Amino acid sequence: MDRKVRVRFAPSPTGPLHIGGVRTALYNYIFARKNGGEMILRIEDTDSRRFVPGAEDYINESLGWLGIQFDEGVREGGPHGPYRQSERRDIYRRYVKQLLDDGKAYIAFDTPEELEKAREEIPNFQYDASTRMKMRNSLTLGEEETRRLIDAGEQYVVRILIEPGRDVIVNDLIRGEVKINSSIIDDKVLYKSADDLPTYHLANIVDDHLMEVSHVIRGEEWLPSAPLHVLLYEALGWKDSMPEFVHLPLLLKPVGNGKLSKRDGDKLGFPVFPLEWHDPNSGEISSGYREKGYLPEAVVNFLALLGWNPGDDSELLSMQDLIEKFSFDHCSKSGAKFDYKKGIWFNHEYLMRMPDDKLADLFMPVLARKGVDGFDKEYVAHAVGMVKGRADFVDDLWTQADFFFKAPEEYAAKDVKKRWSADTPRIMGELIEVLEGIDDMTSANAEKIVLDWIASKGYHLGNVMNAFRLAVVGSCRGPHMFDITELMPREEVVARIRKAVERIPAPEN
Ligand code: GLU
């Protein structure tokens, strides 16, 4: 294959980009980068009734967040623009005319009522070779009458003329050869005079051709349209430069059967959109991966493995790794279950591997939200570094590390009961003296001194250490105690022990 790789992502701005669409964009991007090719963003906005304001910006912002970049598009510009289909009317008109002139398409005037009537009267009605001569179109009315109706202002559509009884072959790089008979394809509408715009099918083919697209990589739901597209390439005389087709496997429900839907996400508590979406019409808010605290790298990694595998057992793959390893040979034909828990796992892995200072940057806004300030970034970085192994999301860092930023207000009753005895206040008093006498609070050094003191007094190691922890953390959880006291200012540690002694009522012996 010596053709330059050019791919396109061609969303319709009809609402928020679904996570399946994000995966399609990702595979296009990875494939283009792998092959030193180019990637186009084309906005398919020919269906004005389904247009939703804000959807185009949402698409741009989502893909930008994930690091999916375009070489040509509405924002990037490029030699094949405009990249918004609603701005390409003149171009489409030219090809509608060509198809009509060549007898590959015809004009039809049937009203919705007439079509409804045909559906009632003719069993399994389909507008095709078996029925078209019973309908109101240029083939039955003749040229003159057709002209007259158009001049009189009657609205019409242009339909492709499908020849029945032919095998149509779609070569798909994942599915191989898909063969269907043209008799089952109807004379699809290619253009509507009412809004002077082509339908998806024609616009798609014209643009893919003019934009020199080499590979059409899209979701499996478009496979049924592919035979029609092959016939359109033929009708337009472009068969030799037809792109390769790649239909990606469906994303399936995490449990049960069928296609992943927004309802699955609502039910099980995971987002099906990359970013939070505020519906401009209903006001409804749908959750997004970004706002839920997912890292873009984790989302990319997770999505890439839904329907593709690297051929070995590696799982943690950066965008660069994906670009190196990707090929359609390892894409599956069958649908991929949307294992959202695996997405959480990926997030955890990426969070854990993130350098502490970067993680601190992400955590600072959480601190601000909690009304905490006055901590420098280095302190925050150390704190989150100690607890990141226990967090799936940035927000979880607060649950794990809150005590680094504020003294406990309460003490876990269960731990108090188990670890705070009548002797504890006295022992804590001694501990304060020991701590104040330490020159070097480095974890290992402080640990040795404190443990030696416990041993020399014959105290119960577990009880003393847990009471210590209870006073500083508020419960018996958290990282290594002496790592905590290495980071936290000694006065703060001491103040917390004093406060605990004051607050926790000593039990009767
Ligand atoms: N506009 C279509 C969509 O919304 C594009 C399908 C295709 O890639 O051909 O997905």
Check pocket membership of 45 for ligand 1, CB cut-off 6 A: no
Check pocket membership of 356 for ligand 1, CB cut-off 6 A: no
Percent with pLDDT over 90 in the chain: 97
Which pLDDT value is given to residue 408? 97
C-alpha distances out from residue 192 to 87, 107, 375, 457, Å: 16, 10, 63, 92
Res. 1: pLDDT tops 70? no
Which pLDDT value is given to residue 507? 81
How confident is the model over 376-386, as a mean pLDDT? 97
Closest residue by Cα to atom 5, ligand 1, is 10
Verify cis geometry, omega within 30 degrees of 0, for the bond prior to 82. yes
Which pLDDT value is given to residue 509? 58
How confident is the model over 146-173, as a mean pLDDT? 98
Q: Helices (DSSP H) in 135-225: which residue ranges? A: 138-151, 200-210
> Distance between terminal CA atoms of the chain?
85
Check pocket membership of 222 for ligand 1, CB cut-off 6 A: yes
Res. 166: pLDDT tops 60? yes
What's the CA-to-centroid distance between 39 and ligand 1, angstroms?
Answer: 15
pLDDT-based confidence at residue 29 (cuts at 50, 70, 90)? very high
Catalytic residue among 262, 342, 418, 499: 262
What's the CA-to-centroid distance between 200 and ligand 1, angstroms?
Answer: 8
The Cα diameter of the chain in Å comes to: 112
Token pair 């239909």 in the structure block, residue:
247
Percent with pLDDT over 70 in the chain: 99
Check pocket membership of 218 for ligand 1, CB cut-off 6 A: yes
262 belongs to the catalytic site: yes
Residue pair 88/196 in contact (Cβ under 8 Å)? The answer is: no
Residue 282 to residue 139: CA distance in whole angstroms? 45
How confident is the model over 274-292, as a mean pLDDT? 95
C-alpha distances out from residue 463 to 19, 190, 244, 445, Å: 51, 79, 70, 21
Tokens of 222: 């478009």
pLDDT-based confidence at residue 2 (cuts at 50, 70, 90)? confident
Tens digit of pLDDT for each residue in 32-67? Answer: 999 999 999 999 999 888 889 999 999 999 999 999
Angle ∠(67,71,74) on CA atoms, nearest 5: 95
Tens digit of pLDDT for each residue in 186-236? Answer: 999 999 999 999 999 999 999 999 999 999 999 999 999 999 999 999 999
Token pair 């993130």 in the structure block, residue:
354
Which pLDDT value is given to residue 48? 81
Hey, which of 207, 211, 218, 233 would you mutate to test ligand 1's pocket, going by the most ligand atoms within 8 Å of its Cβ? 218
Which pLDDT value is given to residue 256? 84
Nearest to 146 by CA among 118, 111, 108: 108
What's the CA-to-centroid distance between 198 and ligand 1, angstroms?
Answer: 14
How confident is the model over 383-396, as a mean pLDDT? 97
Backbone angles phi, psi at 93, to 5 degrees: -55, -40
Backbone angles phi, psi at 180, to 5 degrees: -140, 160
Alpha carbon 122 to chain centroid distance? Answer: 44
Hey, which of 41, 204, 216 would you mutate to test ligand 1's pocket, going by the most ligand atoms within 8 Å of its Cβ? 204
Check pocket membership of 204 for ligand 1, CB cut-off 6 A: yes
What's the length of the chain? 509
The per-residue pLDDT of the chain, averaged, comes to 96
